[in-house]
Structure 1
Amino acid sequence: MSNRPPPIYPDRVSRISPPSDDLAEVLKAINVRSTILCRSHFTAPWAFRVDGSDLAKFHIVLDGAAWLELDSPAESHRLEAGAIVVLPRGTGHVVRDEPGTPVRYLEAILADHPLDSAGRLLYGGDGPSSTVLCGAFDAALLPDDMTDLLPRALVLDQDGSGRVTRWLQPFADLLASDGAAPGEAAVLAKVADVFLTEFLRQYLTQQEAALVHQPTEDGDGAPIAAALRLMRRDPRARWTVEGLARQVGMSRTAFAAHFRDSVGEPPLSHLTRVRLSQGAGYLATTSRTIAAIARDVGYDNESSFSKAFKRLYGRSPSTFRTEWSG
C-alpha cells in the first residue's frame, strides 16, 4: 500500500470556491515591498538592458510604447501605454523603442545621465517619446514551489482584469505633473506595493490545481522536485516522460513510478494541471487572447486548450474570464 501524501488540489477546480487553507495562508503572507528605480522619459531611439538577479523587476509604460525582450529562451512582448510587466524571477531583459535598437545597460545610462530636478531620467534621440517607471522587489517573499508557478514575465495591459488595473489610476495621477512633490518616490513605491501584492495574489489564486506536497530537494525526493520545477518553469516545452526522466537522471520506468507515488498522478497528467492553472492565471489577470495564452502554456491551438480547460475547470476559458472579472 502506497504511503504517498494526498494531493492538495480538488478533482475539479471552481473559481467560486475559496482557496484551500494552505493556499490562503500563503497568499495572505504575500506583502510586497518595492523600490522605484527610476522614472524615465525616453525619446527614440532608446534601449536599456537589465541583467538577471534575485530581485524581481517591474516596468510600467505610462505613455508611448516599448518592446520587452527576455533573455534565453527568447521571448518578446509589445507594451502599449498602460501596460505593466512583472518579472517575478528577476529574468534578464531588454526594453527598447523598437527591435534592433542598440542597447546599453541601465546602470551605465543612469551614470551618464543624472536625474533631472523632477527626479526623471531623460534619455534618447529626437523621436517619439515614451515614459516608463522601473522598479524592483524581493522575490523571496514566496515559497520556491510557488515562485516556480509564476511565468518569467506577467504582462498586464490597461484592458486587463479590473481587479488589478484599478491601481493604474493612482500612478497616472501621481505622475501627471512635471514637478516632483516631496516624498513622491515613497508614495509611488507604496502604491506599487499594493498593486503588485494584488497582482501576485490574483494570479496565484489560480494555481491551486498545480500545487502538491512538494518533495524534498535532497535524497529520494530530489529527482521529483527537479521534474516539478522543470514543468513549472517551462510548461510550453514538449515534455515527455522519457525526456523528464533523462533530465533528472532516472530511467523512464523508475521515474514514472516514483513520480506517481510522490505526486499522486502520472507526470503528463500533472503537466496538464500545471499548464491549465497557468492559463487560468493569465485569464484572471490579463487581456491576452485565449489563442495566445494557449501557446504560452504549451498548447498547439486554442481549441485543444479550451477543451482541456473545460474538463478541469467546468467552464470555458471565456466564461471563466468573464466570471473572474465580474
Structure 2
Amino acid sequence: MDILSDILHVAGLRRRLLDLHALTPETALRFPCDRSFGLHAVTRGRAFVHAPDLDEPLALQAGDLVLMARGCAHQLSLDRTTPTHSTTMAIAPFAGAGLADGTPSSRAGADDNPPTQAYAQVISAAYQFWHDPLHPFLRSLPPWFVVRGHSLPPLSALPLTIGLLDRELGDEGLGASSATLGLLDALFAFALREIAQRQNPGAPGLHHAIADRPIRQVLTLMHGNLGHSWTLEELGQQAGLSRSALAERFRNALGDTPLNHLRTLRMQKAMQLLANTRQSLEQIAQAVGYQDAFSFSKVFKRTTGQSPRQFREQDAADRQSPYRAKEAS
C-alpha cells in the first residue's frame, strides 16, 4: 500500500490550479490559504514571496519551488518590498492556459521576443484539506519549504514535472487540461516526498516510520483495514515484535503510541465517510472499527469537537462556500 497516497485521499485532498501567472512590476498576487497548502513553481524570471511570519521575503528563481503549509497567507510579487496592493487569487478558477491580460500572451512570444519590462512566470496551485483536525503528517509539515532548482539533478522528478507543466500550460495541446491536473498532483506528491526525505533522521516522522520495516508493516495493516479490531498484541505478532518492543519502536518512529495513531486514522476515515457518503452512523462506526454508533460518536466528538451529525450538517453547509474546491479528488 502507498501510505502517503492513502493519507492524502482520506484527508479529502482537493486540488485547484489557480493559473499560470506573468508577474510584472505593476502586479502582485495575494493568496489567503486558511484551509489550503499553496505551491508556486517559477518557470521564468525571479519572484518574491511575502508573508507576516517571514523575517525577509523568499527569493525564487526559475526552477525553484515553494510549498506553503495550510494557513500560510502570503503575497507574490517581483519586488523585494512588500506590496501595498494585490489581486486575491484564493478562489480564482483555472479557465485555460495562457496569461492574464496585459502580460506576454503566449509561451512562444515570451521566448522569442522577450519584453523589455521585467517579469516572472509562475505556476500556482492550491491543495485544499477542508476538515479539521489534520492528519499528523500534514500537521507536521514546515510552514515554508523551498526546493532550489539548481540543487536537484536535471532528470529528477521535480524539475521534470515543472518543465512538463510549463509546456502543457503554454502549448494548449489536446488533453492539456487533464495532463495539467495530473502533473499538479504529481508535483505536490514529489514536494511532500522531498520534505519527508529531508526530515531530521533522529526526529519522529513519516519517512522514519516508512524506513523501519516492522513499523511500515504495522502502518500498512492499519491503513488497509481500519474496521478490524486491532490490538497491540495482534499488531506486534504481525510485525514480529512483542507488545513492548512495538510500542517503543512505534513511538520512536512516529512520536505516538500505535493505538493512539490508529484512533487518529479512524477519525480521519470517519470524516471522509461522513462528508462523502450517506452511510448511517452504525455503518460508519463499523467501517472504522467500533462496535456501535454510541462509542464511535463519543470518540469522534472528543477528537473533532462536534458530534458526527453536527459534522455532517456543517459539511453540507460548507459545500456552498465559494472558498471550497468542488472538484473531485
TM-score of the pair, normalised by structure 2: 0.48
TM-score of the pair, normalised by structure 1: 0.48
Q: Higher Cα Rg: structure 1 or 2?
A: 2
